[in-house]
Amino acid sequence: MIKTKILSPNRVRRITGSFAFIEHRFLRDGFWESLSHRELLLYVFLVLVADRNGVSYYSYDKIYSLLRIPMDEYLNARNALIDKDLIAFDGYFFQVLSLPEKPVNQPLRLLKSQQQMEKYDPATICNLIGQSLKGD
């Protein structure tokens, strides 16, 4: 067992208001590594703003503004957290859920057709949007 010491006794953290926590199992059992950077950012934010039941009501525009990410990246992260069974969302409220037994890892999806590229490849989608805005 590692013996620890308090490095700054005058700055020991105290719970004085709301309380947020992430189970150590989140790191130990592989949930952390199963998430992208945007998913981690959104998950930690939702943990910080949630009440004791894990519920928060921040609007999507406030969230992606505070996180300083584009809306499409927010939507991708939100949907991935839902798919990975870490949060619930009813259109207005979020709930950070208790951790499932193990991380839900999304299988690697190889894009093979033009239709798949147009649906899932960000560069192709961006190019299509650019072309449609130009009127070509």
Query: How is residue 46 annotated by DSSP?
Result: H
The identity of residue 49, as a single letter, is: V
Residue 66 pLDDT > 90, yes or no? Answer: yes
38 or 132, which is more confident: 38
Report the chain's terminal Cα–Cα distance, integer Å.
67
Band the pLDDT of 110: cuts 50, 70, 90. confident
Identify the three-state secondary structure at position 133.
helix
Please state which of the ranges 36-45, 83-92, 115-124 shows the lowest mean pLDDT: 115-124
pLDDT for 4? 86
For residue 64, how many other CB atoms are within 10 A of its CB? 20
At 69-84, the pLDDT tens digits run 999 899 999 999 999 9
Taking a C-beta distance cutoff of 8 angstroms, is the pair 58, 67 a contact? no
**pLDDT the model gives residue 13:** 81
pLDDT in tens, 8-53: 989 888 877 777 889 999 999 999 999 999 999 999 999 999 998 9
Query: Which pLDDT band holds residue 136 (cuts at 50, 70, 90)?
Result: low
* Mean pLDDT within 85-104: 94
pLDDT at 128: 84
What is the layout of strands, in order, in the sheet containing 87-89?
Answer: 55-56, 94-96, 87-89
Helix residue ranges, H only, 11-121: 25-28, 37-49, 60-67, 71-83, 114-120
The domains located in the chain, with CATH, are 18-99 (1.10.10.10), 108-136 (no CATH)
What is the band of 107 on the pLDDT scale with cuts at 50, 70, 90?
low
Residue 89's SS3 state is strand
Q: Which are the contacts of 95, defined by CB distance < 8 A and separation ≥ 6? A: 50, 53, 54, 55, 56, 87, 88, 89
Question: Distances from the Cα of 106 to the Cαs of 35, 90, 103, 132, in angstroms?
Answer: 10, 22, 9, 31
